[in-house]
C-alpha cells in the first residue's frame, strides 16, 4: 500500500515550492496542474447535490449520500489549506489500435494498470519533502469534479464528465491536500460553479448515445441505467436486459466517444496505460485466462472474475 500522508513543513508555500510541484508533476506525466484554496463547497453546489440525492439517482452507491464528509473539506485533513489539482491523460491511439478487431470492447481507462495505485505513487513522488499532505485519487469522499471545476481545469458536461475545452475528457483526476497556505500574492481565481455544462450548448449527443438512458441532459446520471455501473461496480446482480450495447464487456465509453470535445484528445505517454495481457484476453473473451493474481493489479478487480464472466455471458446472450 502507498501511504496517504506525507510529513510536515512551513505555514506558507513559496513560489519556488509551487513551481517544484508543477515541474515534478509534468515529469510524472500530469498535464494540468493548478492550486486553489481549500474551502467547503458553495451553497449552489450543495443544493444541486442534495437535489441529486433526493431523486435517489445514486441507486445503491450509498457512500455518495454521506454529505457530512463531502461538504466539510477539513474532515479529510484537519489542517488542509490548499488543494493541488492534477489531471492525467489516458487516451492513446496506439491503445485503440491494439484493441482493434477484438470481439468485445474495454473502457479505455481500464486497459492498463490500476490507475489508483499508479497515480497515487506519482503523487507520492510529487509531494515528497514539500508539505504535510493527503493524497487523493478516487478513494475518498472528496468532491473531485467540483474542485477540479473550481480550479479552472474544465467544465462539467451533460454526460457528468469533467471536460477540458482543449483536450476533452479522457483524463483522470488526482489531488493533493496540503496543510500549507498559498502565498498571499498568489492569484488563484476560482471558477463559478454555475458554468457547468453551459459550454455543451445545444449538443445532446451524449444523452442520445447512452445505451441505458442514464443521462437526463441536465447534468444528472441515473446510476441504475448506467452500463458502466453494472459491468464494473455491481458484483451481485445480473445485468438488466435494457442494454443493447452487447460489444462492451467492461465499462462503456459511448458518452465520451460521442462528445465533440473529444475529437482531438491529448494522448498519454504512460506505458502502464497500454493494454495489458489481461485486457487483451478480456477483449477476446478469454476470461478463463485471467488469473486472480493478475486481477489484483488491474482495474478489473472491481468486478472480480465472476463479474467478468457475467459480463461475457450478457454480451453473448441473444434475445
Task: Give the C-alpha separation, 131 to 179, whole Å.
Answer: 7
Q: Is 90:108 a contact under the CB 8 Å cutoff?
A: yes
201: cell is 450548448
Active site residue 138: yes
231: cell is 459491468
- Which of 245, 260, 268, 267 lies closest to 314 in space, CA to CA? 245
List CB contacts of 8: < 8 A, sequence separation 6 or more.
131, 132, 179
Q: Is 274:262 a contact under the CB 8 Å cutoff?
A: no
293: cell is 493474481
Q: Is 211:231 a contact under the CB 8 Å cutoff?
A: no
**φ and ψ at 146, to 5 degrees?**
-65, -50
Task: Give the C-alpha separation, 134 to 83, whole Å.
Answer: 10
Write down the catalytic residue from 40, 138, 216, 284.
138
Residues in the chain: 319
Which residues are annotated as catalytic?
138
Amino acid at each position: 500500500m502507498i501511504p496517504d500522508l506525507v510529513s510536515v513543513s512551513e505555514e506558507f508555500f513559496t513560489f519556488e515550492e509551487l513551481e517544484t510541484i508543477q515541474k515534478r508533476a509534468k515529469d510524472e506525466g500530469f498535464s494540468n496542474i493548478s492550486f486553489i484554496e481549500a474551502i467547503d463547497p458553495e451553497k449552489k453546489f450543495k443544493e444541486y447535490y442534495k437535489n441529486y440525492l433526493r431523486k435517489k439517482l445514486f441507486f445503491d452507491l450509498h457512500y455518495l449520500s454521506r454529505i457530512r464528509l463531502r461538504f466539510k473539506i477539513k474532515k479529510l485533513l484537519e489542517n488542509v489549506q490548499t488543494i493541488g489539482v492534477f489531471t492525467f491523460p489516458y487516451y492513446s491511439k496506439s491503445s485503440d489500435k491494439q484493441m482493434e478487431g477484438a470481439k468485445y470492447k474495454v473502457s479505455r481507462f481500464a486497459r492498463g494498470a490500476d490507475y489508483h495505485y499508479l497515480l497515487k505513487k506519482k503523487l507520492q513522488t510529487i509531494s515528497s519533502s514539500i508539505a504535510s499532505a493527503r493524497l487523493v485519487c478516487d478513494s475518498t469522499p472528496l468532491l473531485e469534479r467540483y474542485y477540479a471545476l473550481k480550479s479552472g481545469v474544465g467544465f462539467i458536461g451533460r454526460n457528468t464528465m469533467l471536460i477540458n475545452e482543449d483536450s476533452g475528457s479522457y483524463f483522470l483526476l488526482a489531488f493533493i491536500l496540503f496543510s500549507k497556505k498559498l502565498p498571499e500574492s498568489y492569484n488563484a481565481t476560482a471558477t463559478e460553479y454555475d458554468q457547468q455544462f453551459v459550454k455543451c450548448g445545444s449538443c445532446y449527443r451524449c444523452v442520445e448515445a447512452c445505451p441505458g438512458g442514464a443521462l437526463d441532459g441536465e447534468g444528472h446520471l441515473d446510476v441504475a441505467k448506467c452500463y458502466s455501473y453494472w459491468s464494473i461496480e455491481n458484483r451481485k446482480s445480473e445485468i438488466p436486459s435494457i442494454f443493447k450495447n452487447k460489444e462492451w464487456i467492461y465499462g462503456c465509453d459511448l458518452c465520451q466517444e460521442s462528445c465533440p470535445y473529444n475529437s482531438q484528445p491529448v494522448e498519454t505517454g504512460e506505458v502502464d496505460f497500454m493494454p495489458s495481457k489481461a485486457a487483451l484476453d478480456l477483449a477476446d473473451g478469454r476470461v478463463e485466462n485471467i488469473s486472480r493474481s493478475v486481477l489484483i493489479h488491474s482495474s478489473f478487480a472491481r468486478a472480480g472474475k465472476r463479474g467478468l464472466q457475467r459480463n461475457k455471458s450478457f454480451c453473448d446472450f441473444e434475445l
